[in-house]
Amino acid sequence: MGRTAFGALASAAVLLAGLAACTEGSAGTDSTVVSTSPPAATEPATTEPATTEPAAETTAPVIDDGSVLAQFAGQQWAFGTVADGATAADTSAEPIVIGMINQENSPVGSFPELRFAVDAAITWINTELGGVNGRPIRLETCITSFSVEQSQACAQELVQQGAVAVISGIDITSTGSLPVLEQNGIPMISAIPTTLAEYRSTNVFSFSGCVTGAYVAFAADAHAKGATSIAFAYGDFESFSVPATEYGARVAESLGMEVTLVPFPITTTDFLPVVQSIIDSGADAVTIGAADTACVPVMTILHDFGYDGLQYLVGACAAEEILKQVPDDIQAGVVFNSEGPPIDDDATPSALDGELFQAVIDRYATGPGGGAGTVSFRAMLNLWSVLTTLDEPTPAGIATAMRATVNAPSFWGHPFTCDTKQVPGFPALCSPQQTLFRLPDDTGTVEGVSDGWIDVPALLADAAG
Amino acid sequence: MLAVANHLTYLLLGLGGGAAIAVLALGLVVTHQASGVVNFAHAALGSYAAFAYSSFRQTGRLVLPVFGVPDIDLGGVPTTLTALVLVCAVAGLCGAFLAIVVYRPLRPASPLARLIASLGVLLYLVSVMSLRFGAQGSTSLVIDPVLPTHLVRITDDVVIYADRLWLAGIAIVAGLALSAVARFTRFGIATRAVAENERAAAMLGIRADLIAVGNWVAASVFAALAMILAAPITKLSPIQSSLLVVPAIAAALVTRFRGILSTVLVALAIGMAQSELLNLQVTVDWLPDVGLQQGLPLIVILVALALGAGPTPARGALDTVRLPSPYLPPWAGAVVVAVMGVAAIVTWTGSSEWRSAVIISCIGAIAALSVVIPTGYTGQITLATSAFAGISAFTLVKLAAGWGIGFPWAPILAALVATAGGVVIGLPALRVGGLNLAMATLAASLAVEQLVFGWSWFTGGVEGTLVPPAHLFGIDLDIAALGDDYPRRAFGLMVVTVTAVLLMMAVTFGRSATVRRWLAVRGSERAAAALGISVSRVKLAAFAMSAFVAGLAGALTAYQRQTLSVRSFDSFAAVVAVAIAYLAGIATPLGAMAAGVLASGGVLTLLAGSDASRYQFAVNGVLLVVAAIMLPDGIVGRLTRRPRAHGTRRRGRSRRPSTP
């Protein structure tokens, strides 16, 4: 009967929603509102930025008619200048096998959009970007549906398929796949890490800061705005509690703020007591980590109970379908996090990335690839950029190249540094930098709150020092 | 005074959560009284209705809970009343369908079969919600509040939304009304008569079927109304909303599914206590940060059960109630030897996938065996095997990593620690039985999960913990190996050997004089006691043995997974293990072996392929219902029926009734 423990991790459903803090929020996922600025304090990348120019050794024909690249020729994107025309990979060359584990058809959530986005990215790479130095990429996908054993079997299957790297879309049971991949030295590129095991693994690379980055950014912004106390309310689940207590609270304390912790069961029926507890703490600012089902009641109750401090919620709460349930005057007072480029600044090279993403999805996706698909698309493109720097992609070579990255360009996100030191204790997080935004009125306008990127690693280093 | 006011504030703020639990608990009590079912799918049916209502009010299309049936389109957005009436009508029809098609055939079945059926319905409904409305629940649906949502000032310090007060009031009024119906109307009196003694009720001309249908329709409509009214408070999510049934069951368990109004009051008290515990957790430094709000009510329930409940009276049924047959054919041992021999050969010569599948199936078989021992041999239904497995697995890590105790002593000692836990958790079995025992063991398992597994010293907490690999006489028994060598053959053979030994011991034990005494207890505790059998000792021995076997399964799981975390041994995994064991055959070691084949990730998964269908969970749910109705002895039981002796005739239904 499969792993029918539907309730077995009710927590898992909660977890998934909250971990959408790893995504760009509505500001980031809506290409019409994305505008970017140069990343703050970025150093030249140590990896060679991949370009879309045809690889010298390939003899593949140029397809410059009707390609996605042709629409954006000559413009700057994350990895340089967009080529004038498409270059197909050499189909006779031995393909490079990339594995993907993704959770679908599970009652705790099904996320095919992450697979569709990766599939579209690979088709684009093979069709227009010349593959990896001429070699095509072959995607081997294994679907897991909420079972540790299934994830374990998926990892083993991908080992036998000869995968040189494995992209994990969303897999709540990655504790099954991680040991197998680690033992075989195959790096995991995690689009949306969902377990602490992923955060803590040196074999995992994620171009995100997730809830941890969000909490630190919230504390820093609250301090900058004059708050002297902050309450961290979080669902009693490890992927919320550790980022709140070990990172967000620590940074807040290092900034001289008084911290109140309000843990609550992830199966909380009514958020009224939780919000009352926050208000009773007298904190100047509050941040809440919970499932997306908590977004509407938390925003509403805080407003109705007259809370006049700063309010911070993860970017997942800024989803259009959530915000339409919250009156404009209430949502206007809330600040959300994003991992997309800063708002109101269009000079960054990745300004074009949002439009490229949409064009690629429109052209090559075999199913809906939007929403969280932006994150897996980014993971695949960043992996591709590293692969192009290698003569012969091997698992060990990829892992080494990843670990050597310093401010390597990232598709539609902050440049990444996978030196395992960006977030102490969470070596997998390569680009925890955040931006903050708010939605001031009902016109759909997105207003940047932070001044460019919030340097989460620097804040964590200061707190540790 | 300020402190008192503060506590009062939080108690009142807990009314909303308590009221949501209370309205659900009411329906649970009604269905249990009508047909002896603890309806795990009760909140799921209500959640479907709430989803359908919100969707209907948004789109004008009423989504029906049947795949392939088109939505009802009214051509416009309905009014609140129209939507309420139509959705409740659909819920009522669902209730009638369940009463007639699912639970009526199960009236002569064991409580376990009815429990399995309700799990099947639950899986189906969760799948319907996930596929028809989206797994992300209310983030994609605007919840339309039916009750007023303005703020009401109760005292100078306490402000609360009106809908919480309304819901609590509705729960109390409904409790009073249902109590009055039960006491003063013919329908209520007939329902009570059926609940007390169905056979006697039938002799008085009461048609239990009709009574059951009426109660199921009422309970289903009530579930729909409850979740529609509570949705603005609880929000909607296919799984989380369905899981509201757990605290509702807890409330009903305290009153043993009898008192309607008292169940409402207990549910309100649970919600209020959880709210106050949140307050205490934030303000009292020495209280633990984890598990308290969920764990403490469970402890209270267990204490209430242990102290307050007397022996569960047998429910007189129209037909005999029976558990699956424990018949063990003479060739059972040979089958075990043959199958495990094949498993060993596959482990030695097979590919990586096959080795993995065999290992998972073997561990699944041991886990199922831990269910077979108490349920098949003594009729005690336990849903706590995951707790035993977890206790053993985490103890193993402590023994191996902390104290340097190696294989095989570490897993054996760990299983013995689990055995002690089994005796403690088995204590309620001395006072309650049947479904009450099942629920009590589930509550105990949840309490262990919240309070023991949440203890970071023991489990590594959120950090998780690495499991040291096993070695024996210089042989590396670690599962880890590179490439196609994973899982290591030596590890696989060790697991196969342990499984074979346990299964053979179980077959031998199944034919022993001890098991005949246990079966006497299963057949009739009073008769067994009259024969001089210590019923208490038999029950505790069964729980201890079950915990030991589950502990071995937990230890092997630890070695197989290599890392453990607080979430590795979820209580509902035990419910799933029981369901699989039931499907395979819960009364014999051969059934346990077959359950291993069916285990997720095991041999059957490999044969079927890993590409899960969108409808996999719905199909699983339907299969469970069908199995509960059509295969009361499970797959193995059907294949190994005892041959009739020559020259004998069965007279009517000759099997002895048993009411586990």
Amino acid at B642: R
Q: Is the pLDDT of residue A53 over 50?
A: no
The secondary structure of residue A341, as a DSSP letter, is P
Give the separation between CA B478 and CA A59, rounded to whole angstroms.
Answer: 49
Query: What is the per-residue pLDDT across A375-404, written as a single tens digit (0 to 9) for each?
Result: 899 999 999 999 999 999 999 999 999 999
- Interface with A, mutate which of B478, B561, B572, B600 (most A CBs under 10 A): B600
| B242 neighbourhood in chain A, CB within 8 Å | 6-7
Those of residues 615-644 in B touching chain A at CB distance below 8 A are 616-617, 620-621, 623-624
Nearest CB neighbour to A277, from listed B17, B279, B576: B279
Are B139 and A293 in contact (CB < 8 Å)? yes
Please calculate the CA angle B639-B645-B648 and round it to the nearest 5 degrees. Answer: 125
Give the separation between CA B435 and CA B451, rounded to whole angstroms.
Answer: 24
Q: What angle do helix axes B292-308 and B434-447 make, rounded to 10 degrees?
A: 150
Those of residues 164-183 in B touching chain A at CB distance below 8 A are 164
Please calculate the CA angle B75-B81-B84 and round it to the nearest 5 degrees. Answer: 85
| Alpha helices (runs of H) in A104-248, residue ranges in sequence order | 112-128, 148-160, 177-183, 196-200, 210-224, 238-242
Those of residues 110-129 in A touching chain B at CB distance below 8 A are 110
Contact B369, B503 (CB under 8 A): yes
Give the separation between CA B369 and CA B545, rounded to whole angstroms.
Answer: 10
Q: Two tokens at B554?
A: 């937990």
Are B233 and A270 in contact (CB < 8 Å)? yes
pLDDT of residue A351: 63
Query: What is the per-residue pLDDT across A335-348, written as a single tens digit (0 to 9) for each?
Result: 998 888 887 665 55
| B358 neighbourhood in chain A, CB within 8 Å | none
pLDDT of residue A147: 74
Mean pLDDT (chain A, rounded)? 82
Cα of first residue to Cα of last residue in chain B, in angstroms, is 51
| CA atoms in the 13 A half-sphere facing the CB of B110 | 33
- CA-based nearest distance A320→chain B, Å: 9
Q: What angle do helix axes B352-378 and B513-523 make, rounded to 10 degrees?
A: 60
Query: What is the per-residue pLDDT across A29-41, written as a single tens digit (0 to 9) for each?
Result: 332 222 222 222 3
pLDDT of residue A445: 77
Q: Two tokens at A13?
A: 């459903």
Residues in Cβ contact with A191 at an 8 Å cutoff, skipping those fewer than 6 apart:
A22, A114, A167, A168, A169, A170, A206, A372, A375, A376, A378, A379
Q: Two tokens at A64?
A: 């410059």
Where residue A5 falls among pLDDT bands split at 50, 70, 90? very low
Amino acid at B397: V
pLDDT of residue A38: 26
| B14 neighbourhood in chain A, CB within 8 Å | 270, 273
Nearest CB neighbour to A105, from listed B242, B576, B613: B613
pLDDT of residue B398: 92
Are A276 and B482 in contact (CB < 8 Å)? no
Q: Is the pLDDT of residue A50 over 70?
A: no
Q: Tell me whether A89 touches chain B (CB under 8 Å).
A: no
User: Looking at residues A148-153, what average pLDDT do you find?
Assistant: 81
Q: What angle do helix axes B352-378 and B571-584 make, rounded to 10 degrees?
A: 80
Give the separation between CA A353 and CA A337, rounded to whole angstroms.
Answer: 19
- CA-based nearest distance B657→chain A, Å: 30
Contact A278, A286 (CB under 8 A): yes
Those of residues 479-508 in B touching chain A at CB distance below 8 A are 480-484, 486
DSSP string covering A406-458, please? Answer: SSB--TTS--B--SS-SSTT-TTBS---BEEEE--STT---EE-SSS-B-HHH
Count CB pairs under 8 A between chains A and B: 256
Are A270 and B279 in contact (CB < 8 Å)? no
User: Looking at residues A235-240, what average pLDDT do you find?
Assistant: 79
Are B573 and A142 in contact (CB < 8 Å)? no
Residues in Cβ contact with A451 at an 8 Å cutoff, skipping those fewer than 6 apart:
none
Q: Tell me whether A140 touches chain B (CB under 8 Å).
A: no
pLDDT of residue B561: 86
Find, among B293, B575, B589, B569, the residue nearest to B421 by Cα.
Answer: B569
Three-state SS for B397-442 is HHHHHHCCCCCCHHHHHHHHHHHHHHHHHHHHHHCCCHHHHHHHHH
The secondary structure of residue A259, as a DSSP letter, is E
CB atoms within 10 A of CB A256: 9
Are A270 and B234 in contact (CB < 8 Å)? yes
Query: What is the per-residue pLDDT across A421-459, written as a single tens digit (0 to 9) for each?
Result: 999 999 999 999 999 988 887 676 788 888 889 999 999
- CA-based nearest distance B614→chain A, Å: 5
Give the separation between CA A331 and CA A262, rounded to whole angstroms.
Answer: 22
Are A291 and B237 in contact (CB < 8 Å)? yes
Query: What is the per-residue pLDDT across B367-378, written as a single tens digit (0 to 9) for each?
Result: 999 999 998 888
DSSP string covering B44-58, please? Answer: HHHHHHHHHHHHHHH
Those of residues 3-42 in A touching chain B at CB distance below 8 A are 3-11, 13-14, 17
| pLDDT beneath 70, residues of chain B | 1-5, 134-140, 288-291, 296-297, 300-301, 304-323, 461-464, 572, 609-614, 616, 641-660
Nearest CB neighbour to A277, from listed B282, B294, B562: B282
Q: Is the pLDDT of residue A302 over 90?
A: yes
pLDDT of residue A436: 92
Residues in Cβ contact with A92 at an 8 Å cutoff, skipping those fewer than 6 apart:
none
Give the separation between CA A195 and CA A211, rounded to whole angstroms.
Answer: 11
Q: Tell me whether A143 touches chain B (CB under 8 Å).
A: yes
pLDDT of residue B133: 83
- CA-based nearest distance B233→chain A, Å: 6
Q: Tell me whether A294 touches chain B (CB under 8 Å).
A: yes
Nearest CB neighbour to A179, from listed B239, B480, B620: B480
Give the separation between CA B145 and CA A145, rounded to whole angstroms.
Answer: 34
pLDDT of residue A109: 66
pTM: 0.80
CB atoms within 10 A of CB B166: 18
